[in-house]
Amino acid sequence: MINPFVTRRQLLSGACCVGLGMAVGVAAETTESGTIDVEPYPRDANEALARLKLGNQRFIDDKPRHAHEKASWRSLLVESQKPYATIIGCSDSRVPPELIFDVGFGDLFTIRIAGNIIAEDVIGSLQYAVAHLHTHLVIVMGHEGCGAVTATVDEMLSKTKELKHIESLIKSIKPGLKMLNLKQDRDSLLRAAVEANVRWSIQELLALPGAKRALRDKRVTLIGAVYELNTGHVRFLG
């Protein structure tokens, strides 16, 4: 495994000697100005989170860097990858994590499923990210206006009945919303439901023996977040 404290410049030099595939996603990238990105690989979950927050702020300010997109960078990822964070998010077309956090190829391991639910294949993908890719940071990210959460709320209000396989999504989400005040105004209810669903997904992960061990051994940090469609801001949950 590559030393996470090595700078991107050092890894580029190494790649010249031993082949592009050894760069593992933290090698240097030549920018249009000809300078080299020497941003080091995050040493821990705190640094990974700080980098994502900075990227989200650039996204909000409409000043994205669009780094890690060029062919020269992509060629360094052909043989392997070393993303520094895993995102469990919704499949919604309006919520692409790489754009929201202003990152590029090889930076994030993304697991996307409607309603950011914790299904068996999601758990398998997450286990791969932690065990084999060694991502220190895992974020469960919901978003405002989530269709799966809205469908669940509407069913709880006895307003709709969905198709068979959509019902399976609702069945996964509903337990996390049982404490909601269904009499509040709709906008407040849906916002509360989105956050409750994120917390429910985290609770389900925390019940897994493997997750308990990883957290106990401080091999991974697990946090929740909600993406705001109107502002582009990612609100991290305490």
All domains in the chain, ordered by first residue: 44-63+82-236 (3.40.1050.10)
Average pLDDT value over all residues in the chain: 86
pLDDT at residue 160 tops 60: yes
pLDDT top residue among 51 and 158:
51
Task: Give the CA distances from residue 145 to residues 4, 56, 133, in Å, rounded to whole numbers and listed in that order.
Answer: 37, 19, 32
Is the pLDDT reported for residue 159 higher than 80? no
Residue with structure tokens 């909601």? 180
* Amino acid occupying residue 55: G
Q: Is the pLDDT of residue 84 over 60?
A: yes
Report which of residues 31 and 142 the model is more confident about.
142
**Percent of the chain having pLDDT more than 70?**
84
User: What is the end-to-end Cα distance of the chain in Å, rounded?
Assistant: 32
DSSP state of 30: B
Question: From CA 60, how far away is CA 12, in angstroms rounded?
Answer: 31
- What are the pLDDT digits (tens) for 103-118? 999 999 999 999 999 9
Q: Is the confidence at residue 35, as pLDDT, over 50?
A: no
Which residues touch 77 (CB under 8 Å, ≥6 apart)? 23, 25, 105, 106
70-77: long-range contacts at Cβ-Cβ below 8 A with a sequence spacing of 24 or more?
Answer: 70/29, 70/30, 72/29, 72/30, 73/27, 73/29, 73/104, 73/105, 73/106, 74/105, 75/20, 76/15, 76/20, 76/21, 76/23, 76/25, 76/27, 76/106, 77/23, 77/25, 77/105, 77/106
Cβ–Cβ < 8 Å for 42, 48: yes
Q: What are phi and psi of 211, to 5 degrees?
A: -65, -40
State the DSSP code for 137. E
Please determine, for residue 14, whether its predicted confidence score (pLDDT) is greater than 70: no
Q: For residues 214 and 130, is the Cβ–Cβ distance under 8 A?
A: yes
Instruction: Tell me whether strands 108-112 and 221-227 are parallel, antiparallel or unpaired.
Output: unpaired
Confidence of residue 162 (pLDDT cuts 50, 70, 90): confident
132 pLDDT higher than 70 = yes
Q: What is the 3-state secondary structure (H, E, C) of 68-120?
A: CCCHHHHHHHCCCCCCCEEEEECCCCCCCHHHHCCCCCCCEEEEECHHHCCCH
